[in-house]
Amino acid sequence: MYFKRKRKPVFNSPSTPSRFLFYFKKMLKILNLTPSRIKDLLLIFSLFISIFLVFRHPQAPLPLATTVPFPSSTCRHHLFFSIACSSNSFPRRSSYIRLWYTPRATRAVAFLDQPVSSLVDPTLPPVMVSGDTKSFPYTFKGGLRSAIRVARVVKEAVERNETGIRWFVFGDDDTVFIVDNLVKVLSKYDHEKWFYVGSNSESYEQNLKYSFDMAFGGGGFAISYSLGKVLARVLDSCLMRYAHLYGSDARVWSCLAELGVGLTHERGFHQVDMRGNLFGMLTAHPLSPLVSLHHLDAMEPVFPNMSKTQALEHFFKAVNVDSSRILQQTVCYDRFNSLTVSVAWGYAIQFYEGNQLLPDLLSLQKTFSPWKRGANVGAHFMFNTREFPKDSCKRPLGFFLESVGSDKNVVWSIYTRYSDGNCVRTDAIKNLKEVKVVSQKLELDMEQQIMAPRRQCCEILPSYNESMVINIRKCGIDELISMNA
């Protein structure tokens, strides 16, 4: 049997706003209200309406701060190194490349002008022969057409379509990179935006001749992935317009200028447009991570009594222990003995008699000569310089790196005295033979030394004769680096 389900009665109840009006009118009839009370009730009624609208149409709460997801950290495998070489230079300069290139950890390719069968070496980057550039014009009188081939390395590197690349890095086969420092420097910048990172020449004349706004290719430069993809598409058209330029770096810079991109200067890239003894440059490095050194063939060995290659291998012993601190200059004072000590970590220590003001020690001693030779060549540099006495007895007493080691985050480096003949030294250092420097491993990211660098302080432990201990540490908030702090 079929039964109809009894339906529930439907009540004609008013909607919520109507219900408010109904009760409000009823209240006015029951209550004998004065005008002031009516005004108060109207205000209460307005509040009710506002509450109703908020709950009927809720608004999303305003954030306290806008946060942007931070990209994952840049690592070694995010960098792709393109090394400009020739079949003649690559075999004899391969020892430089081995200093910084690590198979399986460093992604790099050497671009040559022609194949060389004898270069199969697992300790060196793979070799790629550059494409033909005969169709491109080159009109610089006395220059080398290879500048076109080297410029096109940018295009050829990008077109390899390597995966996971954030930065394309370019340099020569006589350039050494401090790869970990370069990674940290490039981590400051967003690889998804257009960045052209490098530095100009140390020589004022070279910058004047070519450009103050160009990254000199020997010192190396980096191009973000997003910019590299665009540059590769338009580079060949630019090469047709700049036949009159001398080098490859000028061609790349000109094309980037047409794209509207300027150079982001980083002081750790070193073109090294200088010759001879680089002691003065290396002992007063700017307050930024060392990234590269170029023109190694034109410099003397950086350590005495060693060949050029041996000296660089010795230098990289310190690089491999604490790359962030390499060549960072720290100055401390022995007030009791009136000594000023300048430490270029991982390289050399100098002892000055008397009080030497810190700003004076930050200028470079002219131990080097200009890149261009000739009697009429200018010797103007892009940094402050001071004279280096010809008389060795008037120079500061020097110590060079002997060994370096570490235990967890504690690093020690030993420096031994370099013979300066029969010079008379003050009693405090006349018998000094060895200096030990103790420091914490310099973590640039933790200490914000890349974004907001600050020089560290040091102190000499008392009671020394033949051996001295120097401790490097972070400076106090208001601590001054001076003899009379």
> Looking at 408-441, which runs of residues are DSSP E strands?
410-417, 434-440
Residue 32 has pLDDT above 80, yes or no: no
Helix, strand, coil % over all residues of the chain, rounded to 5:
30, 20, 50
Kindly state the average pLDDT of the residues 406-432. Answer: 94
Residue 307 has pLDDT above 50, yes or no: yes
Higher pLDDT, 379 or 52: 379
pLDDT tens, 244-298? 999 999 999 999 999 999 999 999 999 999 999 999 999 999 999 999 999 999 9
Mean pLDDT of the chain: 87
Kindly state the average pLDDT of the residues 414-423. Answer: 93
pLDDT grade for 452, boundaries at 50, 70 and 90: confident
Predicted pLDDT of residue 48: 54
pLDDT grade for 373, boundaries at 50, 70 and 90: confident
Predicted pLDDT of residue 3: 44
Residue 319 has pLDDT above 90, yes or no: yes
Could you give the CA distance from residue 30 to residue 4 in angstroms, rounded to a whole number?
46
Cross-strand partners of 417: 399
Segment among 198-212, 336-350, 450-464 with least mean pLDDT? 450-464
The CATH-assigned architecture of domain 76-265 is Alpha-Beta Complex (3.90)
Q: What residue segments make up the domains of the chain, in order of their start?
A: 76-265, 318-474
Q: What is the DSSP letter of 111?
A: E
Residue 444 has pLDDT above 90, yes or no: no
Residue 154 has pLDDT above 60, yes or no: yes
Predicted pLDDT of residue 116: 81
Q: Are 294 and 172 in contact (CB under 8 A)?
A: yes
- Residue at token pair 């790629």: 128
Kindly state the average pLDDT of the residues 145-171. Answer: 97
Look at strands 467-473 and 385-386 and give their pairing: unpaired
Topology, domain 318-474: Cation-dependent Mannose-6-phosphate Receptor; Chain A (2.70.130)
Residue 65 has pLDDT above 70, yes or no: no
